[in-house]
Structure 1
Amino acid sequence: MRRLVGMDVIEVLPGLRMLVLPVGAAYLWSDGRELTLVDSGPVGFEEQVAALVESVPGGELARIVLTHWHEDHTGGAAHLAARFGGVPVVAHHLEAPVIRGEEVGAPPVLEEFERPIRASVPDLPPAPPCRVDVEVRDGDVLPFGGGARVLGAPGHTDGSLALHLPGPDLLFTGDAAANMGETMLGVFNTDRARAIASLHRLAGLGAANAVFGHGTPLVGNAAEGLKAASAAFG
Structure 2
Amino acid sequence: MKISEHVHRLGNDIVASYLVVTPEGVTAVDAGLPGHRRELLAELASLGLGPADVAGVVLTHGDSDHVGFAEWLRREHGVPVYVHAADASRAKGGGKPAGLKQQMKLGALLQFLTYFVRKGGARSAWLTEVVEVHDGDVLDLPGSPRVISVPGHSEGSVAVHVPVADALFVGDALTTRHVLTGAEGPQPAPFTDEPERAVASLRVLVDTGATWVLPGHGAPWGGGVAAAVAAVEAAAAPPRA
TM-score by length of 1: 0.83
CA displacement 1:78-108 (0-9 Å, x = unmatched):
123233x21111111111122223x222232
Q: For the structure 1 residues 76 and 209, does the alpha-carbon distance in structure 2 shift closer, same or farther, using more than 3 Å as the test?
A: same
Distance 2:86 2:5 in 1: 32
For the 8 Å contact 1:71–1:126, the answer to whether it is kept is no
Partner of 1:3: none
Partner-residue secondary structure (3-state), 1:179? strand
Instruction: Compute the displacement of 1:22 (Å).
Output: 7.1
Q: Contact 2:82–2:131 at 8 Å: present in 1 too?
A: yes
Does the CA contact (< 8 Å) of 2:150 and 2:156 recur in 1? yes
Which amino acid in structure 2 is aligned with residue 35 of structure 1?
A: V
The equivalent of 1:67 in structure 2 is 60
Give the 5 Å matches for 1:92-111.
Answer: 92-101=84-93, 103-111=94-102
**Counterparts in 2 of 1:35-184, with a 5 A limit?**
35-58=26-49, 60-83=53-76, 85-101=77-93, 103-111=94-102, 113-114=103-104, 120=110, 121-122=112-113, 124-144=121-141, 146-180=143-177, 181-184=184-187
Query: Structure 1's 174 and 117: CA in aligned 2 closer, same or farther, altered over 3 A?
Result: farther
Distance 1:118 1:158 in 2: 27
Which has a greater percent of helix? Answer: 2
Is the contact between residue 145 and residue 167 of structure 1 (CA under 8 Å) also seen in structure 2? no
**Residue in structure 2 matching 1:202, options 188, 202, 205:** 205
1:99-135 deviations in whole A, cap 9, x for unaligned?
223x222232234x25868954416314222133310
In the alignment, structure 1 segments of 5+ residues that lack a partner are 1-8
Distance (whole Å) between structure 1 residues aligned to residue 14 and residue 166 of structure 2 = 26
Cα deviation for residue 146 of structure 1 reads 4.2
SS at match of 2:218: coil
RMSD: 2.4
Tell me the CA shift for residue 217 of structure 1. 0.9
- Alpha-carbon distance, 1:152 to partner: 1.0
Report which structure shows greater RCO (CA 8 Å, sep ≥6).
Answer: 2
In structure 1, what is the equivalent of residue 181 of structure 2? none
Tell me by how many angstroms 1:17 deviates.
Answer: 0.4
Is the CA contact 2:199–2:236 (under 8 Å) kept in the aligned structure 1? Answer: yes
Identity %: 32
Alpha-carbon distance between aligned partners in 2 of 1:145 and 1:86, rounded to the nearest angstrom: 16
- Once the two structures are superposed, residues 167-213 of structure 1 have per-residue CA deviations (whole angstroms, 9 ceiling, x without a partner) of 33311011101113311121210111211112233345432211111
Return 54-63 or 116-125, whichever deviates more: 116-125
Query: If each structure's strand is expressed as a fraction of its own residues, which one has the higher value?
Result: 1
Q: Name the CA distance, whole Å, in 2 between partners of 1:220 and 1:18.
A: 17
Residues paired across the two proteins, number = 222
Unaligned runs of at least 5 residues, structure 2: 178-183
Residue 61 of structure 1 deviates from its aligned partner by 0.8
TM-score by length of 2: 0.81
Match runs of 1:180-195 below 5 Å: 180=177, 181-195=184-198
Amino acid at match of 2:160: L
Counterpart of 1:212, as a letter, is P
- The 2-side partners of 1:36 and 1:146 are apart by 7
